[in-house]
Structure 1
Amino acid sequence: MNILLIEPPFERFIGLRCEWYPIGITSIATMLTAKGFVAYVYNAEHDNSLQYINTEVYLSRYENYTRGLADAQHPIWREINEKIAQFKPAIVGISVKSVKIAAALKVSEICKNINRNIIVIAGGFHATARPEDLLKSDCVDVVVRGEGEETLLELAENVKNGIYDFKAIKGISYKNADGTISHTPERGLINPLDNIPFPRRELIFDYDKYTPEQLGWIMTSRGCPYDCAYCNSKTIWERKVRFSPLEKVIDEINYLKTTFNSIHINFMDDSFTVNRNRVLKLCSMLIENKTGITWACLTRADLIDDEIAVSMKKAGCIKVDIGIESGNKRMQQLINKGIKLEDVRKSSDILKKHGIFWTGFFMMGFPTETKEEILETLKFMKEVNPNWAYLNIFTPYPGSKFYDMVEGDKLFQQQNNINIYSHQSPNNCFSTNISRDEFKKVVKLMFKEFNRHNSSLRSLLRRAYSKKYHRNPKQFLKDAGKVLSWLRP
């Protein structure tokens, strides 16, 4: 029985090159394949013919997504139709992030137009937080809430055996004959993760068109123990962290090196250094096994110290991403991130001292934030001077505390459009302390200043140095093309 898992398009309409593969649905496909199903992943975001664009260009092209949704003859939709029709799936699973609701519903419609008997299943963060947003469509049959591996496997086995009564399956929502929606009891988190096989990239359609680095994304853990007000991670992970065995992590790295020549790894854990001793052990194993890789990770400012930085660098770490969000003390308290600005200053000093390239992630437009507080973030960014600075515009993701905070506000009702759930949407304005027109002006100023910071010769040279091009000269030529494309207005 054929099962196709789809990552719907969004940024591809905008023209942004996709540098990743969908880890979650590839993990599910791997599990299904291990149980005898013919399961593949179709990443409709991926198109290596696209260029690298900076955030100012991104904002200027954002409405291309809305126009693409309305154009039934758009080449992307025609490609999706062709892929589904050729594969002839019995089940299609669609990964649904909040910003991709409309695209996901369009994919489900395409499925049913091809064959009304295809069972269309939606899953992911938005589907878990608001299953009714998907089930209101006649083209979505079932929503998987929470982690998908075990639930989708159980659904697939039922369909294979001709059983279409799903009420005994935990962790799903579905429509009844009268149109009402039923929710089965929650399914517990998968624990331990030992028996979940790492994602087999060969199950991705056209995987040979991905670069080694695009396939080199790894999650060594699931979940985050923190409770940031803007984040909906707990919708699925429940603020619990579960770790994969380190031996399994080394096996996945060796698989990537051997099969795809991936020598740079992006660890995609929510807070990579949350378990300090585990990270130190992993670093020792990377050195002992002579993996020879370089790698990057994401963590928090209060989870960096000298010993961690030294160990990570010796083990091949060349970049650390740190979420900062705001340079204003009131906003830091409001977002409940649990860090102090002094933590950021200290982690910045440590990473610079040990020669590790670091990126600072910032956000603007929080509920009640003022223009002056936004500009404090710009001032703080320049003070800590990250090697690269990334700016997001706040959006209230369903399942987050801020979503509950603004859901009843007039501003939210004015903007409650499924196309704006993006932290790069120029349409977002959820602060009652700044007018929409003034906010747009500040957005333009902020992105211009952040791009100016990233375009400085010092930032570009530091980024180049961190890549260790002497070990991979071919990568230098590729990245030089990236930079030229990114700098193009």
Structure 2
Amino acid sequence: MSEHVTPAGRAAALAPGSRILVVWPPQILSYFNAGHHLALYQVAGHLRTALPDSEVTVLDATVLRRTWKDIGNDLFQQRYDAIAVMNDFDGIDGLRRFVSYARALSPGTPIVTFGRLSGVNPLFFQQLDIDAVAENGDFEAAVLAALRFFDGETVTAPGVHLRHADGSWHAPSSPGAVLPAQEWYLPTPDEIPYQRYDELYHDDANKFCGIPQRRELVVPAARGCPIGCSYCEVHPIFGRKERRLTVERTVEYIEQSFRTASFEYVAFYAPTFTLDRRWTMDLCERLTADGARFPWKCATTMHHLDEDLVRAMGRAGCVRISVGLETLDPHGHGALPRSKHKSQQDLENLAGWCAQAGIELNCFVIVGLPGTSVEGVRHTIATVQALGGRARPTVYAPWEAARPDLSDEEMAAFNRQLFVPGTHDLDPAQLRDAYEVVFGPQPDVTAVFERIPARAAGADGDPVLLGAS
């Protein structure tokens, strides 16, 4: 490791043989989506490509159930030359503690944090004893830019807030870089603890995004979204212009992954999967022509679906479509972009198309959306269920109230499960009723796994029924 000092007053990070840690700190999860955790592996893979002489370690300490003693052992013994720690809406609890361990056991190691929460409240992280905070741009590009700053190669880092040697923080001099889709690293199955993911998806009453009893391959198909929902982090971080993998690379990744591991369905990780209708139809035609061998699911908006498209998706193996319904209460439309102003008739039409195509309809519903009532939420969910759909309720997060000076406890309340104190007008009885929607019994647990064959890894990637000769 080089002896020169970085602008942040710490040792260089990119000398040949340097050790870099990409980590999600220990915590108790409030929600799990394997797609959100995929960024760990994509950042690590990107760094390995850009810094071939460095040793990059990736650790999802939460999913792997690492203890703080495990973390301490690793930090003390490895003495990493740089640490990239991921943050998320429900990941504040362990982040400050992780930083305290790193500062005590690996002093001098520069730390950059990246993730969804720093994309919407970057100044909050300047409370911590860290050196850089990624605000926008692709995570891979932001982390690499921070490492180059640490190493003294640059004096700025696009999209990244930087702490200088005098302790002062400097805002990004330019927006963060967004990578062409062909530069995205696609992790290999052996990098990711899929068995742990299976366990997290086991109880569907939690309404996590995965399908229980079947193993999921996450395919990061797209980034960016032009819709611009006020409660969504996608466009502030990744931009309003969508970028996508090619259909060819998407299918190749699926086929290769199914050949090497016992995946049973595909989860397309994209903000609005059907935004590019032509791309979606091309993919469906390719999958259908290949025998629709891979069951899959996606998330999109009702506005970007039509009967012909849903029919094509069903033929191509789609088993679940998730949509941001948000509410059927027109009083809540003021908090939504116009493309999400949907009526009960719109929902009935979509539910009918999905039923005819053999696709489960999963609807995201916001509890506490401005202008709506608990009764309106219950009506929305009851309507979804009456139409044979599955509803996934989450609590509205008023990001305009996410100040930089919040405490860790206050910031953690924005995890979309709790109402943020002082940002709603619900009385105690109404608040109890609202929490009943989220934390009460969930009658609409999925049975869609019954339509997905269980399989073992086969040489040709075809589903193999377990127990079959």
Q: Does 1:389 align with 2:380?
A: no
Aligned equivalents of 1:174, 1:444: Cα separation in 2 = 39
Aligned equivalents of 1:381, 1:233: Cα separation in 2 = 26
Please give the residue correspondences for 1:29-44 in structure 2 after superposition, counting only pairs within 5 Å. 29-35=44-50, 36=52, 37-44=54-61
Deviation, 1:431, is: 2.4
Give the letter for the 1:192 counterpart: P
Aligned equivalents of 2:437, 2:244: Cα separation in 1 = 37
Q: 2:223 maps to which residue?
A: 222
Give the letter for the 2:42 counterpart: S
Gaps of 5+ in 1: 49-74, 397-402, 455-459, 476-489
Aligned equivalents of 1:337, 1:105: Cα separation in 2 = 39
Q: Please, which of 359, 363, 371 is the counterpart of residue 356 of structure 1?
A: 359
Please give the residue correspondences for 1:122-201 in structure 2 after superposition, counting only pairs within 5 Å. 122-138=113-129, 140-146=130-136, 147-157=138-148, 159=150, 163-164=151-152, 166-201=154-189
Q: 2:19 maps to which residue?
A: 2
Mapped contact 1:26–1:200 kept (Cα < 8 A) = no
1:338 alignment partner, SS class: helix
2:282 alignment partner, SS class: helix
Please give the residue correspondences for 1:35-54 in structure 2 after superposition, counting only pairs within 5 Å. 35=50, 36=52, 37-47=54-64
* Shift in alpha-carbon separation, 1:281–1:17, aligned structure 2, 3 A: closer
Q: Deviations over 1:137-172 (max 9, x none)?
A: 22x11112321223323443555xxx3475233222
Q: Does 1:247 align with 2:237?
A: no
Aligned equivalents of 2:354, 2:438: Cα separation in 1 = 25
Deviation, 1:116, is: 0.7
Mapped contact 1:30–1:203 kept (Cα < 8 A) = no
* Shift in alpha-carbon separation, 1:407–1:80, aligned structure 2, 3 A: closer
Give the letter for the 2:171 counterpart: H
Aligned equivalents of 2:367, 2:465: Cα separation in 1 = 38
Aligned equivalents of 2:301, 2:163: Cα separation in 1 = 41
Aligned equivalents of 1:291, 1:445: Cα separation in 2 = 40
Aligned equivalents of 2:48, 2:216: Cα separation in 1 = 19
Give the letter for the 1:38 counterpart: E
Q: 2:209 maps to which residue?
A: none
Q: Does 1:373 align with 2:376?
A: yes
Give the letter for the 2:356 counterpart: K
- Higher fraction of helix: 1
Deviation, 1:126, is: 2.1
1:22 alignment partner, SS class: helix
Aligned-CA RMSD value = 3.2
Deviation, 1:120, is: 0.8
Q: Please, which of 70, 84, 100 is the counterpart of residue 79 of structure 1?
A: 70
Q: 2:451 maps to which residue?
A: 466
Comparing 286-295 with 119-128, which one deviates more in the overlay?
286-295
* Shift in alpha-carbon separation, 1:255–1:105, aligned structure 2, 3 A: farther
Aligned equivalents of 2:302, 2:189: Cα separation in 1 = 32
Give the paired residue count: 424
Aligned equivalents of 2:188, 2:275: Cα separation in 1 = 26
Mapped contact 1:124–1:144 kept (Cα < 8 A) = yes
* Shift in alpha-carbon separation, 1:196–1:468, aligned structure 2, 3 A: closer
Q: Deviations over 1:297-341 (max 9, x none)?
A: 111112222221222222221111112111211113323362312
1:89 alignment partner, SS class: coil
State the TM-score, normalizing by the size of structure 1. 0.77
Deviation, 1:242, is: 1.0
Deviation, 1:277, is: 0.8
Deviation, 1:218, is: 1.1
Comparing 250-259 with 149-158, which one deviates more in the overlay?
149-158
Aligned equivalents of 1:201, 1:40: Cα separation in 2 = 16
1:122 alignment partner, SS class: strand
Q: Please, which of 38, 51, 63 is the counterpart of residue 23 of structure 1?
A: 38
1:453 alignment partner, SS class: coil
Mapped contact 2:322–2:364 kept (Cα < 8 A) = yes
Please give the residue correspondences for 1:47-66 in structure 2 after superposition, counting only pairs within 5 Å. 47=64
Q: Deviations over 1:281-308 (max 9, x none)?
A: 0112223445721111111112222221
Aligned equivalents of 2:272, 2:34: Cα separation in 1 = 20
Give the letter for the 1:46 counterpart: V
Q: 1:347 maps to which residue?
A: 350
Aligned equivalents of 2:223, 2:33: Cα separation in 1 = 23
Deviation, 1:413, is: 8.8
Deviation, 1:207, is: 6.5
2:186 alignment partner, SS class: coil
Mapped contact 1:224–1:271 kept (Cα < 8 A) = yes
Mapped contact 2:329–2:372 kept (Cα < 8 A) = no
Give the letter for the 2:394 counterpart: N
Mapped contact 1:301–1:322 kept (Cα < 8 A) = yes
Mapped contact 1:393–1:424 kept (Cα < 8 A) = yes
Aligned equivalents of 1:113, 1:184: Cα separation in 2 = 28
* Shift in alpha-carbon separation, 1:196–1:47, aligned structure 2, 3 A: closer
Mapped contact 1:227–1:337 kept (Cα < 8 A) = no
* Shift in alpha-carbon separation, 1:382–1:158, aligned structure 2, 3 A: closer
Mapped contact 1:20–1:215 kept (Cα < 8 A) = no
* Shift in alpha-carbon separation, 1:191–1:18, aligned structure 2, 3 A: closer
Aligned equivalents of 1:18, 1:242: Cα separation in 2 = 21
Mapped contact 2:222–2:245 kept (Cα < 8 A) = yes
* Shift in alpha-carbon separation, 1:195–1:282, aligned structure 2, 3 A: same
Q: 1:424 maps to which residue?
A: 417
* Shift in alpha-carbon separation, 1:225–1:18, aligned structure 2, 3 A: closer
Q: 1:232 maps to which residue?
A: 233
Q: Deviations over 1:244-269 (max 9, x none)?
A: 22222122112311222323110011
Deviation, 1:427, is: 6.2
* Shift in alpha-carbon separation, 1:439–1:42, aligned structure 2, 3 A: farther
Q: 1:457 maps to which residue?
A: none
* Shift in alpha-carbon separation, 1:207–1:384, aligned structure 2, 3 A: closer
Give the letter for the 1:419 counterpart: A
Aligned equivalents of 1:189, 1:19: Cα separation in 2 = 24
Mapped contact 2:45–2:187 kept (Cα < 8 A) = yes
Mapped contact 1:327–1:381 kept (Cα < 8 A) = no
Mapped contact 2:321–2:359 kept (Cα < 8 A) = yes
State the TM-score, normalizing by the size of structure 2. 0.80
Comparing 370-379 with 325-334, which one deviates more in the overlay?
370-379
